[in-house]
Amino acid sequence: MNKKLLIHHASQIVQIVSNGQPYLRGSDPNIKNLKILSKQSPSDNLCIVSINGKIEFIGLDTDENYSNFKNLVYDSKIDATNCSILPGLIDSHTHPVWEGDRINEFKMKLEGATYMDIHKAGGGIHFTVRHTRDASECKLYESLTKRLDNFSKSGTTFVECKSGYGLEWETEYKMLKVLTKAKREYKSIGISNTYLGGHAVPIGKTADEATDDIVENQIPKLRDLIRSNDLEVDNIDVFCEKGVFDVEQTERIMTKALQNIENIKINFHSDELYPLNSVEMAVRLKSKAVSHLEEISDSEIELMSKSETVGILLPTTAIIMQLKRPPARKMLNSGCIIALGSDFNPNAYCYAMPLVMNYACIDLRLSMNEALVAATLNSAFALGVEKSKGSLEIGKDADFVVLNNERWENIIYQMGSHDQLIKYVIVNGQIVHQKN
């Protein structure tokens, strides 16, 4: 199979970088000088060629190089006149496997209840856990794939997906089976799977007892199922938070996972509601990423800026929950590696990375270039897929978004209009979404 795709006549191609850089720190001048090809004259003709799902050529089709590709027969040709082309967006934090919406809690929060009030009263994550435990694998797969389709229509071509609404092995296993099936069979979006057995302390157990269960019972089972190829799990996560799992318990879980599961990547919820100083532990364990960080301290920022641990910011959640905002500017100016995620979950119902980037700019004061880097290359690095995704470079996966507009910034500027702007979403050189 040698499928070929040609996208030609484009006005702009946003590569992000073209020198193989794996990520861009906040202080890197290449964020200001993003690698963008733009039409200089009406006779210019920008194009991108994919063969077998990889990028083979990017540039002016008058270039000498293009002669190798000019006379090929293409399976699909897209005329991108007046369009811009971006890397597919990468959403580095979501919780998409669950049943039971939480509209009632949304109402309660609008009336003044806090997230933790609801959680302690047996709602929040516990409400979703009850409904997810009751749901069949088939039902969970059906709702997951509908959600994956919504991520894809919003321009996301690769998404991190967590388990975490089981809080016991049987349901965690069910969720991970659903995620593994989607990763193997659902080809319109790439998936990085995360085991989040420590998402909350199950009712009737202490946090220490729940930690013991994860360390002594769940992680060994997970290891065996990964080894036998029954499950595909890429990352391990814990909700490290006051009243959930403390730093010590989180470290026990992470250490056990590192010792038992080959190539597992640490990526956990950190410093969201209370400053627990968990970034110190994250950096010490060489975590790939930590998420939220509303309460990150100056000394943690300093540590993070000298490490390769990515800070994943979730602007929609901070707005929905009316949290103190993460000090994004300070983190960027100090040289941290910043990524973005939607945090899609029943408490924060947002699929759309274009809206997340908009909020990151307006509410967290990122520049548009910083937001795009955070939603592409740096998210890819947070998930360990930067060698194949996150920028438009020869040899990387042909994952693109084609916008109905000559300037890429419209994906951020036109708040909430991504449905009108996104003309095509392409994954591995295949059109997975096309605007009618």
Nearer to ligand NIG, 109 or 433 (CB): 109
Shortest separation between residue 142's beta carbon and ligand NIG, angstroms: 20
Shortest separation between residue 123's beta carbon and ligand NIG, angstroms: 9
Contact between 239 and ligand NIG (CB under 6 A)? yes
> Residue 401 belongs to what H/E stretch?
strand 400-403
Shortest separation between residue 272's beta carbon and ligand NIG, angstroms: 6
Q: How far apart are the first and last CA of the chain?
A: 28
> Residue 76 belongs to what H/E stretch?
strand 76-79
Contact between 125 and ligand NIG (CB under 6 A)? yes
Q: Which residues pair with 161 in a beta bridge?
A: 193
Nearer to ligand NIG, 128 or 428 (CB): 128
Q: Which residues pair with 236 in a beta bridge?
A: 195, 266
Dihedral, CA of residue 135, residue 141, residue 147 and residue 151, to nearest 10: 150
**Stretch touching ligand NIG by CB under 6 A, among 54-62, 218-226, 339-347, 404-412:** 339-347
**Stretch touching ligand NIG by CB under 6 A, among 58-66, 220-228, 300-308, 343-351:** 343-351
Q: Applying CB under 6 A, which of residues 128, 163, 270, 428 lies at the interface with ligand NIG?
A: 128
Q: Which two tokens mark 170? A: 């049987």
Nearer to ligand NIG, 188 or 342 (CB): 342
Nearer to ligand NIG, 87 or 197 (CB): 197
Shortest separation between residue 195's beta carbon and ligand NIG, angstroms: 14
Shortest separation between residue 317's beta carbon and ligand NIG, angstroms: 5
Cβ 359 vs Cβ 316: under 8 Å: yes
What count of other Cβ atoms lies within 10 Å of the Cβ of residue 76? 15
What DSSP designation does 217 have? Answer: I
Contact between 278 and ligand NIG (CB under 6 A)? no
Question: What is the rounded distance in angstroms from the CA atom of residue 52 to the CA atom of residue 49?
Answer: 10
Question: What is the rounded distance in angstroms from the CA atom of residue 421 to the CA atom of residue 411?
Answer: 7
Q: Applying CB under 6 A, which of residues 56, 237, 272, 386 lies at the interface with ligand NIG?
A: 272
Question: What is the rounded distance in angstroms from the CA atom of residue 209 to the CA atom of residue 271?
Answer: 23
Burial class (CB in 10 A: 0-12, 13-18, 19+), 112: exposed
Residue 72 identity? L
Cβ 82 vs Cβ 405: under 8 Å: yes
Nearer to ligand NIG, 15 or 128 (CB): 128
Question: What is the rounded distance in angstroms from the CA atom of residue 171 to the CA atom of residue 124?
Answer: 17
Contact between 317 and ligand NIG (CB under 6 A)? yes
**Backbone conformation region of residue 157, classed left if phi is above 0, alpha if psi is from -120 to 50, else beta:** alpha
Contacts with ligand NIG in 152-171 (CB under 6 A)? none
Q: Applying CB under 6 A, which of residues 11, 345, 391, 428 lies at the interface with ligand NIG?
A: 345
Q: Which two tokens mark 234? A: 């890429």
Cβ 236 vs Cβ 266: under 8 Å: yes
**Stretch touching ligand NIG by CB under 6 A, among 151-159, 204-212, 342-350, 363-371:** 342-350
Q: Write each residue from 95 to 124 as x if it is in contact with ligand NIG (CB under 6 A), else as -, in one continuous string.
A: x----------------------------x
Contact between 188 and ligand NIG (CB under 6 A)? no
Q: Applying CB under 6 A, which of residues 343, 370, 393, 397 lies at the interface with ligand NIG?
A: 343
Shortest separation between residue 102's beta carbon and ligand NIG, angstroms: 7
**Stretch touching ligand NIG by CB under 6 A, among 38-46, 227-235, 346-354, 421-429:** 346-354
Contact between 315 and ligand NIG (CB under 6 A)? no
Cβ neighbors of 112 (< 8 A, separation 6 or more) are none
Contact between 198 and ligand NIG (CB under 6 A)? no
Binding site for ligand NIG (CB under 6 A): 95, 124-125, 128, 239, 269, 272, 317, 343, 345-348
